[in-house]
Structure formats: C-alpha cells, structure tokens
Structure 1
C-alpha cells in the first residue's frame, strides 16, 4: 500500500480547526482501537476526582494515539510510521501525552524484557513525565498488580515478563547502550542547545534498527531563542514532510504553529485572541483561555523580555525577531520583507546599480558582506548577505558555536582557517559584482572606518584593480542613525527586500538599540557575543544607496532601441546648441556692461 504523510493543505486546515493528520494512512484498526481503549482508561491522579484520559483529553490526542499505534503491519510486526514530531504550545498536555502513550505501549508490549524510554534534557522535565506515569499505575489496582513502579529509579517494570519503561534525563543519566523499542524525546528544543545532542539522540534511538515494531516521538514547545542544533534540523525536516517537499512516508509531523500567510500579514498574530486555538489545540481543556489572557497582560506589563519568552512558549512564535527588550524597530518588519529566491545572481540580474557594505573581520568577529541593488523595475532595494568566520571563533564563543555551524551548513557563512582567506573570498564576490558593470561608479564599497586597511589592500591590488576612491570609510555609532532609521522605514514600507537568510534573522534578532543624545545606534558591545556584523554591513550599504548612486558601467544610453537612441541623441544635440546660444548671449551682455 502506498501512502503519504504530507499535509500540504495544513494552513487552511489549522485555521479551520481541522485535524492535521493525513487522510490515507495505513491503519490496522484492531491494534489502533485496542491502544485507544487502554489510553482512555488511564487515570490522572493530579486532577480532582482522578479523571481518565478519555474524560479530559481533546480529540486531537485521541487521533494521535489511534495513528501512532495503528500504523502497523501485523503480519511483519512492523511499525510503518517510525518518527513523529509533535510541536505544541506549553500547557497543551505534552508531558501527559508522553506518560499516557508510553504506559499504553508498555501494557501492549509483546517482547519479553522489552524496553521503553522517555528521555528528557533535565531531571525536572523527566519528572514531569514520570510522575503522571507513576500515578497511572498506582491509581489502577489491576495495573498495579502487574507493574512495579519505582520513584527512586524512575522505572516501571512488568512483574511478569520484565519489560520496563524508564524515564531518564540527559544531564544526569547514562543514555548509552539503550535497547528501547519506543523512545519519547521530551522538549527537543533544549536538546538543540546541547553540543552533544546528536550523539545522545543517536544512542537513545539507535536500537530501533533491530526492533521493527519500534518508533520515536519527538515532542517539544518552541525554543526561547531562535531554533538551533538538532531541534532546528528536525523542525526543518518535519516541516518539509508536512509541506510535501520531502517524501518520507515513515515520518509524520504534527506541528501547531501560525501559518506563514498569517505571519506575513501580522508579525504578532497572538495579539488577536480569536487565533489562540491555532498553536493551542488543547484550548478549552488543559489550556484555559481566560488564564492565557491574564498572563498575556501580565507579561506585557513586566517587559518585552518576559513577553517574548511567553509568546514563544504559549503561541509557538519563533524567538529572535521583534519582541526582545531594546530590539531594533526594523526587526518587527524583517520577516515580511523576505524573498527566498533573492540570490546574489538574482540581485545582479534585477538591479540597475549595486553598492556593497562590509563590516567586522576580527578573530572574534564575523566578517559581514552586504550586496544591495536598486531594482531597475520597482526601484526597491534588494539585499543579499554572506559572512565569514575563523574556526577559532567557535572555541572563543562556544555559546554560539552551534548556530554558526548551522549557518555554515546552509551555505550562508564560510569558515576559514587562516587570517586573510575571508578577505580574499569576499573580494572575489566584489569583483563578480564589478564585472557586471553595476557596481556604483563612486562611493561603491562602504567599510567600517576601523577596518578599511585589509579590505582596501585586497580590492585595490593589481590583480583586482578597484580604485581606492570608490572605497568609503563608514562612521559608526550615532553617525549611523540616519541609515538605521532609513532601513526601518524601507522595511516597514516594503521598499527593502532581503534574501530571508537565517544568518540575518540571527543578526537582526541580536541588534540592540542604544540612545546617543538625540540619535540612536546599534551597539556591538551591548550585543556581546551575539553577533550583528552582517546587519552592520547592510547598514553600510544603506548609507551608500542613500547617495543615489549610478553604476560604473552604465552610460544611460539604450543601444537596443535605435529609435529611442536617435531621439535621445537629437535631444542632446538640441540641448547643447541651446546652452551654447545662452552662453553667447550672456557673453554679449557682459561686454556691453
């Protein structure tokens, strides 16, 4: 049987409140129905009256359980969907889902001494899943006779066949050597911050190669910082599966987030209370709308940092743009100005003139390059960016090493091993623009005033031959106030279009505004290790574009249209004759007087 786990119409369905699960999945109904009966009978001891999951869970959770256990080939004892990603907002019952699914799996186990694992990034998060699982066993006399739970080892063992469910934390427990049939990875976003996460997850899930009935569930809220590491990798992959751009019928995505079509119209859709059900599928059950409303108001009063954290966790809004305290105002409009098709070659193809901004380049810095063209049709500014970094920066700035590796994998950042390699690679791109004839004749290349020497030497070498006069030192600090404000207005008004690079999202999200008298600046020292060099390069290009440049190779004469060319020549001749006559009259008058 052929099936697909893609849900390309997910945007319309999530707005309509419909299921995100595909329609044509290969369900073995007897197993699916049995699992759902078991799941619904499990009790929640931390709720008044100890209700069952069947009494308090929303329908989307029942659908999930039905699919997770039902996508199974009984003749081969083979699980057909082997990896599932669940992205839901906080308080939507993620830890309870983990406990319920894994206890159900343990009850249905058919392998003697079978192992099941819930893996969390910290002990506290592990306890959040173990405690409801422990309660599900102890609250049911029939289950307690068969299963022996231990709150010391965080394990639940079948007294008869010795199969067991273990709940472990990656920060304290040894994860290597696992033989888990089913693994539930909780709070994947926190694993994304661990440099060792890929090895940890490989150890935790590798045993499924020899256990055909096994599968992995990744469950997470959004990150409190821009997604990174294994979290970013999984999120991008499963979005591709959901959208149908990645064909992987063994993977299933259940991602509750605002659609791009909504975010493009409104970068803060969570301010509309009528949309809260989109990232909160359990709204009305485990998530109370009046509680959310009260907490949103409180977070707004407490400040933008608190508000940014709250909306990332409770509305699945990716952090990094538009809400952090002292953030640059242009960050709010950055997402809507994105065009992923805008490559360097596309900027060259569409532009009538191009300027270049450069910033950074120290061993602890990124070297940022911004190529900004003025579109010959729309007159909009088109921005493409790239950056370079020395390998040593990953050792000196360990807190952003994973992010830099991510940008390198996306071909948006290049690592170099020797000083100078970055400058010469950058110079090659400048020469590519110069060869197009579109690089501005004057004020073509803007460089941080403190970093002019190395760039100037590379570009004015005999091999490249850029005139020194075309390279401009750009004053920093408050003197960039005009460019900062201009770029804000261009973004808000749709006058600036950028390439939608994750590198630039990172830099824009890091930009901090510092008042300087009556002006403002974007301060590198305030941003600290969170690099902003590529954005600063963009501001340098903005300064030069504001000078209304003309391309070095542009004569202003269109030789493809001979009629227009002839008319223009005649007009120029007439203008020259008129000027000459005017000058002659002026000379005559001056002689009389």
Structure 2
C-alpha cells in the first residue's frame, strides 16, 4: 500500500489487523522500506540452513513468509524523505512451536552481516540458560553448515560469541540478568520469550539500559519475540504488550518507534470459549503452520495434554493459541465475572460513597504475612436499591519473597496505587481500616448493629477484631462473622445479578478485576460458591471482602444516624 494511503493513520497503526489475519496476511502495518537493503537482507537470510532438520533445508524453503516480512521491516525500514530508520523496536507475539528461537538466531546473524559499524556489540538474549544456549547452538550451526560463512564470521564457543571478521562487531548470546549490560550500548538486542521477563523484578531496569542505545547517533534496535505468558501478564511484559496493542490500534501517538506484529484473537473472541475451542479457527494464529508444526499434531497434543484439566487447558491455550490468561475465562468462573468490567464506574471514591450513600456496610478478608488483606465497603445509594462498592488492599512486603510467582503482578498493582505494601500489617493496615470505619460510624452511615462482616476463619481475623475494638467497636454487636463456603452461594448470586443489571457499581480497580478473574467456583448440589481452594494460587481476597460486606447489605439495614439526627427524628424527644 502506498505511504500516502495511510497518512491519516498514526505510524505503525494497523486497525484492520484481524481482517489481515483472516486473509492469511501478517498483522503488520504497511511501512516504507529501502528495497536494496531489503533484498540484501533477504538474500543472506534465505541462504542460511536449518541445522536440526533432515536435509538442512535453506530458510528460503523452511521459513514461513510471515517471518521474512519481519526481517524486511526490522532491517530495511526507511523514511523516504529523511532516509532514516523507522523501526527501532519490534514486538512479535506468536504461538509456541513457531520456530521463533531459530528464526531469531538467523535474523541476528543477518543483522551482524548487514552492520557496518566497527567493533560494536549485539545481543541475543534468552530468559534462561537453556533457551539462550539453544539460540547460540542454532546460530553457530547455521554458520558451520555453510563453508563460505567461515570467512565472514569467527565463532568462540565458550563465550557464545560470533564476530564478523571485517568489522569486529560481535553478536553474543546471553542469559537475561542484571549483569548482561556492562556499560556498552548494543547496536541490536534480540530478546526471546519476553513474557518470562515479566516474572523478574529488575527487568525494567535492565531494559532501560538496553534502550539507552535508542538515543545515540548510531542507535540501538530491539526485537522482542515471544509467546503469551502462562500466567497473567505482569511487569515489563504487561507494559510492552499493552503498548504494542495501543500502537497497533492507533492509540499511542503519531510517531511510535515500536512495530507490533501480534498473532492473537480479538479480546471478544478470546472470551468466547466455543470459538477458540473450535479447531478450525486455530490456523488463524499459527503463521508457521505446515513449516514447524502440523494441525494434527497440535490437536493430538491438546486432547492428550491440554484438555486433561481446566488449569492445564488454560496454560495450553496461552502457549499455543496466545489466549491471554485473565481474558479467556473458563466455565468454572464466578458468574459475576462476565459482568464485572461493564459495571465499572471510574472515579468512584470513598469520599463519593460517603456523600451519596444512605447506609454503608464493610467487609474484611483478613490476610497474614504471605497473603493479601482486603477491606471493602458496600453502600446503598440514597432512595434506591443500587449499591456502590469501593475496596482497598494491603500486603506485607514479605509476600514478595513468599509468593514469587505473583510478585511482579503485586508490584504492578502497587505502582498503580491499587495495593499498599506495608512493613507491619497490624500497625499500618489494620489501623487504617479502624480509622476508616470510625469515620463512617461518626457520620452515622453504618447500621446500628452488624456493621462489619469478617471471615472469622481467615488468618489475621484476631488482628482485625483487636484493631476495631481499640476504636470502640463492639465485637458482639458491631462485627459479624460471615460464613464462607456453600453459605456464600446466595450473596454471590445476588451480586452477580445486580452486576448484570448495573445496580451494583464498583470503582474499576485493576486489582479487583484480577481478583474476579482469579475466582473459581465450587459446585455443591445446587449451590455454586467462590472458593479459595478451587482458585489455587490466584488471589481472590478483594472479591471475598466485597461479598462479606454485600452479605450485610443484603439484610436491608438502615443507617444508625448521628446523635442529632436520632434526636430530631424522635417525636417524643422533640416535645
């Protein structure tokens, strides 16, 4: 497509990406390229041979056309007026078994061959020693299969290094850690399996060092190639994925530097289990089909491994179909999850609840040192049957060590202001809960009794009671133990119905959406209730505290009112 045909769109925007995928085309924006440079890059790339396939076929035959488009876009983009490079970064999301590590190694060798800068550094980085070792094995084997390339490159096996003899510029294969950058700015960095870096706490700091090359005269390119995460996207992976989607959709400003190439289903189809379970739709997101993978083998793997349990299926589809965990939900989810996002009311704050609600109840899901502490308010809007919900969550910082699998996710929530990390739950979090509850009581918005619902069996329940008693709440009258398990069936169903009808609105906090996404239900007879056990490692504390508060609100309480209000409303006292 000519450049002038896309002038109205921001650079790299590709609003018809799904239509392109359905036509069998790469979901990539049309960009101007230097034809001479593109031809040189492709000629070299195509001559490389697969070292681990019978007959060692050249990439001209063995590589999917989709990746050749990436090679051209990444190595040969050029502004037709300024003659400057356009694509400084590229993020490719592609399912597992698409030969991405092998193709990335080939692209790295091609870039090394094309680069004329002397004594530069290039990096090909894997998230683990095994992955980085495989990248190097593939790269060096491709070179050794072609005797002519021995005159061009020198391989140092023990250093996992490939140097171009003419320029002295070196491609090194390394494992991602905080020591991979030693002050030198790479001309090129290829990062395999970016989603794994979302689990590393200092990944953002390292990426800032790598990206420092983007502001130098020579510049520094970065290629990310990855499958979807087998956990909820977090950390740097969450940030880069969101950025790439915004660029693709034309919502990231006029001059981005990252080119997105995302093989995924639209969000509404990721949520449609019937759609992505239909094996006829799988080829749409499998660009390397018939090259490195067959549909028959994939189906067999799904039936024998992916379909053995709901947890196994969730992980399998995240890797092989790029279904994002937390988007593609399952049949054992809480029914209210389908309506949670639509019931969001951004800007809903504690202050607004105190102004608009005629009565408020509170709920606490106590947390220990390796858990989350959740506190929720549910208020009934004056003169209506509509409920508002606001929540706050805390965690002891030690949870980052004890729950490393979700540490990056929790750090993201902390940065967003949805989670408060503390050093002492008793002195900081429970004290704040008592302070908020005292304020609500003083405004006369709590019911006369049964003000605060608590999961009495939860770790930390005694701390909650102690803090509230210290603020002059009566444990017998003001606090109510909320039965968990199957006895939550009624209130969970009530909240789900009110969410659907938009008579339950919440503050739209990301951490609450995460809790809802994590929630799995347990079926006992006709009862279906949220279960921490069924939800596994996924935290659901925010939803549980909300249900505790909702249970009390479902009893149709009336506010106690302030002392003055009680006096004025009592005709006997007014005589």
How would you bin the TM-score normalised by the shorter chain? 0.7 to 0.9
2:308 aligns to what?
302
Q: Structure 2 vs 1, CA of residues 406 and 210 (structure 1 numbering), >3 Å: closer, same or farther?
A: same
Query: Aligned partners of 1:48 and 1:352: how far apart in 2?
Result: 75
Q: Is the 8 A contact 1:79 1:212 kept in 2?
A: no
Q: Which of the residues 456, 466, 484 maps onto 2:468?
A: 456
CA apart distance, 1:125: 0.7
CA apart distance, 1:191: 1.4
Describe how 1:98-177 pairs up with structure 2 within 5 A. 98-170=104-176, 174-177=180-183
Q: Which of the residues 290, 296, 312 maps onto 1:290?
A: 296
CA apart distance, 1:74: 9.5
Describe how 1:223-242 pairs up with structure 2 within 5 A. 223-242=229-248
Gaps of 5+ in 2: 562-575
Query: CA offsets, 1:294-342, max 9 Å, x none?
Result: 1221125532332222111001122357779xxx933476255313544
CA apart distance, 1:156: 1.8
2:540 aligns to what?
532
2:58 aligns to what?
52
TM-score, normalised by the number of residues in structure 1: 0.78
Query: CA offsets, 1:533-572, max 9 Å, x none?
Result: 212112213323433456778xxxxxxxxxxxxxxxxxxx
Q: Which of the residues 216, 219, 233 maps onto 1:210?
A: 216
Query: CA offsets, 1:358-405, max 9 Å, x none?
Result: 221544432213344568999776654331223444355444332221
Q: Is the 8 A contact 1:412 1:501 kept in 2?
A: yes
Q: Structure 2 vs 1, CA of residues 176 and 334 (structure 1 numbering), >3 Å: closer, same or farther?
A: farther
Q: Does 1:252 align with 2:264?
A: no
2:340 aligns to what?
337
1:574 aligns to what?
none
Q: Which of the residues 4, 7, 11 maps onto 1:4?
A: 11
Q: Which of the residues 264, 280, 287 maps onto 1:281?
A: 287
Query: Aligned partners of 2:57 and 2:357: how far apart in 1?
Result: 65
Q: Structure 2 vs 1, CA of residues 401 and 300 (structure 1 numbering), >3 Å: closer, same or farther?
A: closer
1:385 aligns to what?
391
Query: Aligned partners of 1:310 and 1:191: how far apart in 2?
Result: 19
Describe how 1:445-484 pairs up with structure 2 within 5 A. 445-449=452-456, 450-451=461-462, 453-454=465-466, 456-457=468-469, 471-484=479-492
Q: Does 1:97 align with 2:103?
A: yes
Query: Aligned partners of 2:11 and 2:518: how far apart in 1?
Result: 39
CA apart distance, 1:343: 4.2
Query: Aligned partners of 2:443 and 2:101: how far apart in 1?
Result: 57
Q: Structure 2 vs 1, CA of residues 93 and 536 (structure 1 numbering), >3 Å: closer, same or farther?
A: same
Give the secondary-structure state (helix, strand or coil) at the position aligned to 2:131.
helix
- Name which of structure 1's ranges 146-155 and 60-69 shifts more when overlaid on structure 2: 146-155
Query: Aligned partners of 1:374 and 1:276: how far apart in 2?
Result: 46
Query: Aligned partners of 1:333 and 1:151: how far apart in 2?
Result: 56
Q: Structure 2 vs 1, CA of residues 65 and 383 (structure 1 numbering), >3 Å: closer, same or farther?
A: farther
Query: CA offsets, 1:81-137, max 9 Å, x none?
Result: 222211111112211221121111011110122222101111211133223322321
Q: Structure 2 vs 1, CA of residues 329 and 147 (structure 1 numbering), >3 Å: closer, same or farther?
A: same
CA apart distance, 1:435: 9.8
Query: Aligned partners of 2:372 and 2:51: how far apart in 1?
Result: 53
Query: Aligned partners of 1:314 and 1:80: how far apart in 2?
Result: 31
Q: Does 1:183 align with 2:189?
A: yes
Q: Which of the residues 57, 70, 86 maps onto 2:92?
A: 86
Query: Aligned partners of 2:217 and 2:297: how far apart in 1?
Result: 43
Query: Aligned partners of 1:431 and 1:15: how far apart in 2?
Result: 58
2:67 aligns to what?
61
Q: Structure 2 vs 1, CA of residues 435 and 332 (structure 1 numbering), >3 Å: closer, same or farther?
A: same
Give the secondary-structure state (helix, strand or coil) at the position aligned to 1:344.
coil
Give the secondary-structure state (helix, strand or coil) at the position aligned to 1:472.
strand
CA apart distance, 1:44: 1.6
Query: CA offsets, 1:178-213, max 9 Å, x none?
Result: 442110011111111122323333444444543524
Q: Which of the residues 17, 21, 27 maps onto 1:20?
A: 27
Give the secondary-structure state (helix, strand or coil) at the position aligned to 1:5.
coil
Q: Is the 8 A contact 1:342 1:384 kept in 2?
A: no
Query: Aligned partners of 1:440 and 1:57: how far apart in 2?
Result: 68
Q: Structure 2 vs 1, CA of residues 79 and 331 (structure 1 numbering), >3 Å: closer, same or farther?
A: farther
The number of equivalent residue pairs is 544
1:314 aligns to what?
320
CA apart distance, 1:172: 11
- Name which of structure 1's ranges 211-220 and 508-517 shifts more when overlaid on structure 2: 508-517
Query: Aligned partners of 1:335 and 1:32: how far apart in 2?
Result: 47
Query: Aligned partners of 2:285 and 2:381: how far apart in 1?
Result: 38
Gaps of 5+ in 1: 554-593
Query: Aligned partners of 1:73 and 1:138: how far apart in 2?
Result: 36
Q: Which of the residues 272, 276, 290 maps onto 2:278?
A: 272
Q: Structure 2 vs 1, CA of residues 300 and 230 (structure 1 numbering), >3 Å: closer, same or farther?
A: closer
Q: Structure 2 vs 1, CA of residues 322 and 141 (structure 1 numbering), >3 Å: closer, same or farther?
A: closer
Give the secondary-structure state (helix, strand or coil) at the position aligned to 1:293.
helix
CA apart distance, 1:511: 4.6
Give the secondary-structure state (helix, strand or coil) at the position aligned to 1:338.
helix
Query: Aligned partners of 1:18 and 1:333: how far apart in 2?
Result: 37
Query: Aligned partners of 1:267 and 1:498: how far apart in 2?
Result: 26
Give the secondary-structure state (helix, strand or coil) at the position aligned to 1:219.
strand
Q: Structure 2 vs 1, CA of residues 453 and 268 (structure 1 numbering), >3 Å: closer, same or farther?
A: farther
